[in-house]
């Protein structure tokens, strides 16, 4: 077996391992709604709704890192998990950026595979909701 074939084989094995354990290692999420707060403190549909709706992202259950099209923490100074989630509690994570924070709560305690989430980006997307698995 050549070196390239060996590298491809190892990559495939790691990919399969991560797919089979993805639920234990991460959440796969889809955005349903994006909101802003109006001058009276009420939620209203955001101008970002059309652009962000149906966007997907992945949340690491171990580090709180978010990767994907939206809500990514790639540029965060750090991320951390505040609560790992359970049958009684939500998974909660925070990302710290230069002068702002991003929070996500995934309601792990809800029955079924689909878990609702709410995220708040201070200085970015506003309030984002959807479903994670």
Q: What is the pLDDT of residues 114-128, one digit of tens each?
A: 999 999 987 677 899
Report the distance separating Cα 32 and Cα 9, nearest Å. 37
Residue 16, classed as helix, strand or coil, is helix
Q: Is the pLDDT of residue 56 over 70?
A: yes
pLDDT of residue 20: 35
pLDDT of residue 4: 36
Q: Is the pLDDT of residue 7 over 60?
A: no
Q: Is the pLDDT of residue 83 over 80?
A: yes
Beta strands in the chain (DSSP E): 26-37, 43-45, 56-60, 66-68, 78-84, 91-97, 100-106, 115-121, 126-132
Report the distance separating Cα 45 and Cα 88, nearest Å. 30
**Average of pLDDT values for 55-82?**
95
**Average of pLDDT values for 70-94?**
95
CB neighbour class for 106 (10 Å; exposed up to 12, middle 13-18, buried from 19): buried
- Which residue matches tokens 């094995």? 13
pLDDT of residue 19: 39
Q: Is the pLDDT of residue 42 over 80?
A: yes
pLDDT of residue 125: 76
Contact (CB, 8 A) for 66 and 27:
no
Residue 131, classed as helix, strand or coil, is strand
Q: What is the CB neighbour count within 10 angstroms for residue 117?
A: 24
Residues 6+ apart with CB under 8 A from 23: 133
pLDDT of residue 23: 62
């Amino acid at each position: 077996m050549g070196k390239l074939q060996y590298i491809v084989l190892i990559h495939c094995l790691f990919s399969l391992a991560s797919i089979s354990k993805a639920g234990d290692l991460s959440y796969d999420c889809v955005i349903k709604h994006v909101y802003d707060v109006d001058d009276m403190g009420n939620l209203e549909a955001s101008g970002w709704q059309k652009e962000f709706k149906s966007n997907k992202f992945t949340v690491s259950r171990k580090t709180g890192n978010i990767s994907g099209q939206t809500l990514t923490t790639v540029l965060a100074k750090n991320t951390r998990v505040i609560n790992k989630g359970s049958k009684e509690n939500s998974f909660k994570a925070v990302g710290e950026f230069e002068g702002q924070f991003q929070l996500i709560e995934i309601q792990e305690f809800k029955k079924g595979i689909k878990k609702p989430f709410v995220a708040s980006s201070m200085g970015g997307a506003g309030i984002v909701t959807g479903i994670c698995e």
